[in-house]
């Protein structure tokens, strides 16, 4: 029998969290209990405690109160997971049309017994108006700069040394990363990202469809994005999805991106309407990588989380948070 103390500890290690998406290590991307009108897909990420194991695991989505659209406590969808990655996973619920406004509940059941429930609402989103034109959504004038708090943590058994970030008592590396627009040329705005003496450089272009990366330079090695890679569609028509593949299929890079908003994100002045972009990338025989980026129109990128994992097991997670 598990003691009350052990049970409480186990409960702290297990959770069920609605979110916009899921990172490579099965952590929630933008955990939230409020989804904007227009949402067609709901994701709920879960983590089981060490002693929790189930032969069957099911998620039931219930519309608690959606007005005249459906009766109270109407069962919307049911997902039975036939395979999971270790002690973590996620439920994904999609509808052919947007979820009606109202209150919902997700019931997770293990071996026929209720494990956890999570409630959320679908409601009118924050309004990000007026929206700037595409060439101003990320300010790219010469000399424009941003300063970010840098944080990097590794997964169990992963040992990493960084010359230009300091490891704390918790084993996490901290530092400051700066990004600065150096100049403009035919490839776009040349943006330097610097944590130490060896910078990364990217060339950004803005156009009628948004913001694109045209090329990237790391340690004198240039990679050209052909076609240019869309990173921020503009004007936004959320939620929206898009794919990117290099013209040369031998390169093997395939990215799938999703964008949501406006939703509250943390900008220079605190919470403000912004947009969240989640990109998933996986090359053949390589770890899965996800990029979560938050943007505030007229300010640019205010948060970035790069997560790399193999079969859900964290290799490393790198976070950038705009200094306020």
Q: Does 304 score more than 90 pLDDT?
A: yes
* pLDDT tens per residue across span 116-150: 999 999 998 767 668 899 889 999 999 999 999 99
Q: Does residue 149 contact residue 173 with C-beta atoms inside 8 Å?
A: no
Q: What is the pLDDT of residues 14-41, one digit of tens each?
A: 999 999 999 999 999 999 999 988 899 9
Q: How many residues does the chain have?
A: 324
Q: What confidence category does residue 88 fall into, taking pLDDT thresholds of 50, 70 and 90?
A: confident
Q: Is residue 114 scored above 60 in pLDDT?
A: yes
**Alpha carbon distance 176, 160 (integer Å):** 18
Cα dihedral 258, 263, 264, 265, rounded to 10, equals: 20
pLDDT higher than threshold 60 for residue 278: yes
Q: How far apart are CA 200 and CA 319, in angstroms?
A: 16
In sequence order, which ranges of the chain are alpha helices (DSSP H)? 4-12, 134-137
Round to whole Å and give the CA distance between 80 and 108.
Answer: 10
**What value does the mean pLDDT of the chain take?**
90
How sure is the predictor about 11, in pLDDT bands with cuts at 50, 70 and 90?
very low
Q: What is the pLDDT of residue 71?
A: 97
Mean pLDDT on 201-224: 94
Pick the closest to residue 322 from 176, 213, 135 (CA basis).
176
Highest averaged pLDDT of the listed ranges 136-140, 156-160, 167-171: 136-140
Supply the pTM of this predicted model: 0.91
Query: Which tops the pLDDT comparison, 84 or 54?
Result: 54
Task: Report whether pLDDT(311) > 90.
Answer: no
Q: Please say if the pLDDT value at position 285 is more than 70.
A: yes
- Please state the CATH superfamily assignment of the domain spanning residues 4-123 in this structure: Macroglobulin (MG2) domain (2.60.40.1930)
pLDDT for residue 163 is more than 80: no
166 falls in which pLDDT band (50, 70, 90)?
confident
Q: What band does 314 get if pLDDT is binned at 50, 70 and 90?
A: very high
The confidence score (pLDDT) of residue 84 equals 57
In the predicted structure, residue 74 carries a pLDDT above the cut 50: yes
Q: Give 83's pLDDT tier (boundaries 50, 70, 90).
A: low
pLDDT attached to residue 201: 97
Mean pLDDT of 77-102: 87
Does the pLDDT at position 6 exceed 80? no
- Please tell me the predicted confidence (pLDDT) of residue 157: 87
pLDDT score for 99: 95
**Which candidate, 275, 225, 235, places its Cα nearest to that of 255?**
225
C-alpha atoms less than 13 angstroms from C-alpha of 131 in its C-beta half-sphere = 17
Quote the distance between the C-alpha of residue 187 and its chain's center: 28
Which is more confidently placed, 202 or 82? 202
pLDDT at residue 274 above 60? yes
The band of 191, judged by pLDDT with boundaries at 50, 70 and 90, is very high
Give per-residue burial for 192-220: e unless 16+ CB within 10 Å, then b: bbebeeebeebbbbbeeebbbbbbbbeee
Spatial neighbors of 8 by CB under 8 A, at least 6 apart, are none
């Amino acid at each position: 029998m598990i003691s009350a103390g052990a049970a409480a500890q186990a409960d702290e290690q297990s959770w069920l969290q609605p979110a916009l998406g899921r990172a490579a290590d099965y952590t929630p991307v933008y955990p939230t209990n409020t989804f904007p009108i227009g949402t067609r897909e709901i994701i709920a990420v879960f983590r089981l405690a060490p002693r929790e194991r189930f032969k069957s695991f099911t998620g039931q989505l219930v519309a608690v109160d959606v007005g005249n659209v459906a009766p109270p406590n109407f069962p919307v969808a049911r997902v039975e997971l036939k395979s999971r990655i270790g002690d973590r996973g996620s439920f994904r619920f999609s509808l052919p049309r947007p979820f009606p406004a109202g209150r919902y509940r997700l019931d997770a059941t293990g071996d026929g017994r209720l494990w956890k429930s999570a409630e959320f609402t679908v409601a009118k989103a924050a309004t990000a108006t007026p929206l700037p034109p595409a060439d101003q959504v990320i300010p790219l004038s010469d000399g424009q700069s941003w300063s970010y708090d840098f944080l990097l943590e590794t997964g169990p058994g992963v040992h990493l040394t960084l010359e230009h970030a300091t490891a704390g008592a918790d084993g996490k590396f901290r530092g400051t990363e700066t990004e600065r627009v150096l100049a403009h040329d035919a490839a776009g705005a040349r943006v330097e990202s610097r944590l130490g003496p060896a910078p990364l450089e990217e060339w950004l272009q803005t156009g009628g469809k948004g913001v694109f990366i045209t090329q990237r330079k790391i340690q004198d090695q240039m990679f050209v994005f052909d076609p240019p890679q869309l990173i921020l569609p503009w004007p936004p028509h959320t939620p929206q999805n898009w794919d990117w593949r290099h013209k040369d299929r031998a390169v093997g890079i395939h990215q799938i991106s999703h964008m949501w908003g406006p939703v509250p994100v943390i900008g220079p002045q605190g919470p403000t309407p912004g947009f969240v972009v989640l990109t998933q990338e996986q090359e053949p025989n390589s770890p899965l990588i996800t990029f979560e980026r938050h943007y505030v129109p007229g300010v640019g990128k205010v948060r970035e989380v790069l997560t790399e994992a193999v079969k859900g097991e964290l290799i490393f997670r790198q976070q950038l948070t705009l200094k306020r």
